Structure 1
Amino acid sequence: MYETVLLPVAPEGGTMRAIPHVATLADRYDATVHVISVVDSVEEMINDPRVEMLADRLQTTAHDRVHEVSEALLDINADLEIVTHVERGTAHGAILSMIDEVDADVVVMPTHTRQGLERVLLGSITERVIRESPVPVVSIPMEEDAPGD
């Protein structure tokens, strides 16, 4: 049923509660897990060395994050097949493109419990992916104040 599971992760965290769900799905269906982190490509529009340095740091952080998540998945099940990706662009756009690129069958994403004005101003990448995804999206609620999540 699910041969390919896509797990988007933010460079700064917020995914740890989703890891057991992904590991269970991948184990049950013998699926490959694709872990993706997206670095916003705003630096391409701004020609400033400081912005480039920040982008490089974000890229490094994103690589570290997909590696950390992959290791956490392998700690649960060492037999999982995991492929990591770090992409540049808008988060929702890169996730939607990756769905097509890896032929994902399901996406597992954390969702935050923002409400009111914060939700209106910040929006939700998960909500946007849910609306536009051609495949099912499983959203895992994250606790806003949980350290390490």
Structure 2
Amino acid sequence: MYDEILLPVAPVGEANDAITHAVGLAERYDATVHVVSAADTAVDTLAGPRTGAFSERLVDAAEERVEAVTDELEAAGVETVGSVARGDPLEVIENAIEDGADIVVMPSHTRRGIRRLLLGSVTEKVIRVASVPVVTVPMAESEAEGERSDAAVDDVGGASGSR
């Protein structure tokens, strides 16, 4: 039923419960998990000497994150492919779906009130536009708090002004 599972991860962060769900689905369906992280380097379009250094740090962080998650999945015996793409997180995820993902498994922060209204959610956007099922996994409170403290990191994919 599911041969290709897409697991988007933020460039900065720690393990999240979505990884466990991706492992479970991969084991059940003998599927490959595609770990993708979007490095939203839109700041490159802004003039200034420091933007290049920021975007390179973001890409490096995304590569390290993808490597850590793929290592975790491989240690669990799951066939894994990892990649980092520059761009808007939603577009990166949409492109990965078009490349053949059968299902998306992604974390969801449990923001409420004004934070949710102002920041939005990449996960919510993916749910609205995805052509495949999307499994959302609430982040554990300690994980969500750690992620919230890093305002430059997006829900799933990169430094961005919107969540």
Asked whether the two chains share a fold, i.e. TM above 0.5, the reply is: yes
**Contact 1:14–1:142 (Cα < 8 Å) also in 2:** no
Please say if 1:143 is aligned against 2:144: no
Q: Residue type matched to 1:91 in 2?
A: P
Number of the residue aligned with 1:32: 32
Unaligned runs of 5+ in 1: none
**Contact 2:3–2:29 (Cα < 8 Å) also in 1:** yes
Give the alignment's Cα RMSD to 1 decimal.
Answer: 1.6
**Helix, strand or coil at the partner of 1:145:** helix
Please say if 1:123 is aligned against 2:120: yes
Unaligned runs of 5+ in 2: 148-163
Number of residue pairs aligned between Structure 1 and Structure 2: 146
Q: 1:34 to 1:107 in 2, by over 3 A?
A: same
Q: Residue type matched to 1:137 in 2?
A: V
**Contact 2:37–2:85 (Cα < 8 Å) also in 1:** yes
Rounded to whole Å, the distance in 1 between the matches of 2:142 and 2:104 is 24
Rounded to whole Å, the distance in 1 between the matches of 2:96 and 2:48 is 29
TM-score by length of 1: 0.92
Q: 1:122 to 1:14 in 2, by over 3 A?
A: farther
**Contact 2:127–2:134 (Cα < 8 Å) also in 1:** yes
Number of the residue aligned with 1:85: 83
Rounded to whole Å, the distance in 2 between the matches of 1:57 and 1:32 is 28
Number of the residue aligned with 1:65: 65
| Shift >4 Å, 4+ stretches | none
**C-alpha displacement of 1:43:** 2.5
Number of the residue aligned with 2:152: none
**Contact 1:37–1:66 (Cα < 8 Å) also in 2:** yes
**C-alpha displacement of 1:143:** 2.3
Number of the residue aligned with 2:106: 109
